[in-house]
Amino acid sequence: MAEKQYVKIFARFERFWHWTQALLVIVLLVTGARLHGLIGGFDWKAAFGVHLVAAGLIVLLWIFAIFWHFTTGEWVQYVPTFRNLVAVIRYYAYGIFLGEKHPAKPTVRRKHNPLQRLSYLFLKLIINPAIWITGILYLTIGSNGLPLDWVAWAHLVAAYAMAVFVVIHVYMATTGETVLSYLKAMITGYEWVVVEPEKKPGKR
């Protein structure tokens, strides 16, 4: 087995994408809650304006990210696998308490464990599209002829899914070797990972 090395696993764009997205999602959730009437505290019209600008930016960001994933081939990071999945689930449900080692060792070609792959894929293929498709339908409600309450409801459900994802994602980010190690990696881009030999890409 190759030695662990402190190498860059998150490219500059990836980190920019992640943190901008994080900020925009928070802004969208807060302004969305205001628009929906769950919270008060600031002007509805201002909330609408900010929500709209943030939504526009995040859609733009997603378009860039999709482009980036295809051009760099990094999309393969999200191909689902069931290998080791049970072990990972068992780890989070039990092993983590005993101080066991994480069953999935991150490598440069395999940055995410099987559970991450599945949840991120769900985010990218289900939650994100649902939220922006329903959002665009909501914005264009005057011309698409759909019933307002249906579209509003669908957008709300997608928003709750996003909110739940954010909460769990933030907590999971504290489950590294130390509480802050994943966070540090997402900021600096560097992490201690196994670097596979160049010539044996197939052997995992």
Partner 1 sequence: MRFRWLKTVGIGGRTLPCILAAFVVIGGAAVHAQEKSPPTADHTKFESLKGPFTSGPEVTRACLACHTEAAKQVMSSIHWKWDYTHPVTGETLGKRNVINAFCGNVASNEPRCTSCHAGYGWEDESFDFSDETRVDCLVCHDTTGDYVKFDVKAGHPLYEPLTRKGGHVYPDSLKQKSGGMTTYLPPDLAKVSQAVGEPGRANCGACHFYGGGGDGVKHGDLDSSLVSPPVEVDVHMSPDGADLTCTDCHTAHGHQWPGSRYLGTVRDDNRGKPGFRRRDVASCQSCHTSTPHSTASIEGLKLNDHTDRVACQTCHIPEFARGGVATKTWWDWSTAGKLKDGKPYAEEDEHGHHSYLSKKGHFVWEENVVPDYAFWNGVVDYSLLGEKIDPSGVVPVNKIYGSAEDPGSRIYPFKRMRGKQAYDRDNNNLVLTNVFGPETDTAFWTNFDWDKSISAAMAKTDVPYSGNYDFVETEMWWPTTHMVAPAKSALSCGDCHARDGRLSGLSGFYLPGRDLFKTTDRIGLSILVLSLVGILGHSSVRIVMSRRRKRT
Sign of the torsion formed by the C-alpha atoms of 49, 52, 56 and 58: positive
Distance CA 83, CA 80 (A): 9
**Minimal distance in Å, beta carbon 167 to partner 1?**
5
Q: How far is the CB of 145 from partner 1 (least distance, A)?
A: 11
- Regarding 73 and contact with partner 1 (CB under 8 A), the answer is no
Quick one: which of 167, 145, 176, 139 has its CA closest to 56?
139
7: left (phi over 0), alpha (psi -120 to 50) or beta: beta
User: Which CB, 66 or 164, lies closer to partner 1?
Assistant: 164
DSSP secondary structure string for all residues of 131-154: HHHHHHHHHTHHHH---HHHHHHH
**In this chain, which of 99, 145, 197, 202 binds partner 1, going by CB under 8 A?**
99
Kindly state the DSSP code that residue 95 receives in the 8-state scheme.
I
Q: Can residue 174 be called a binding residue for partner 1 (CB under 8 A)?
A: yes
Shortest spacing between CB 168 and partner 1, in angstroms: 6
**Interaction between residue 156 and partner 1 (CB under 8 A):** yes
Q: Does 152 bind partner 1 (CB under 8 A)?
A: yes
Q: Work out whether 44 is an interface residue with partner 1 (CB under 8 A).
A: yes
Quick one: which segment of 15-23, 39-47, 67-75, 113-121 binds partner 1 (CB under 8 A)? 39-47
Contact residues for 193 (Cβ-Cβ < 8 A; gap 6+): 4, 5, 7, 9, 105, 106, 107, 108, 111
For residue 130, what is the DSSP state?
H
Residue 99 CB, nearest approach to partner 1 (Å): 5
Where on the chain is the footprint of partner 1 (CB under 8 A)?
Answer: 35-38, 43-45, 48, 52, 96-99, 139, 141-142, 148-149, 152-153, 156-157, 160, 163-164, 167-168, 171, 174-175
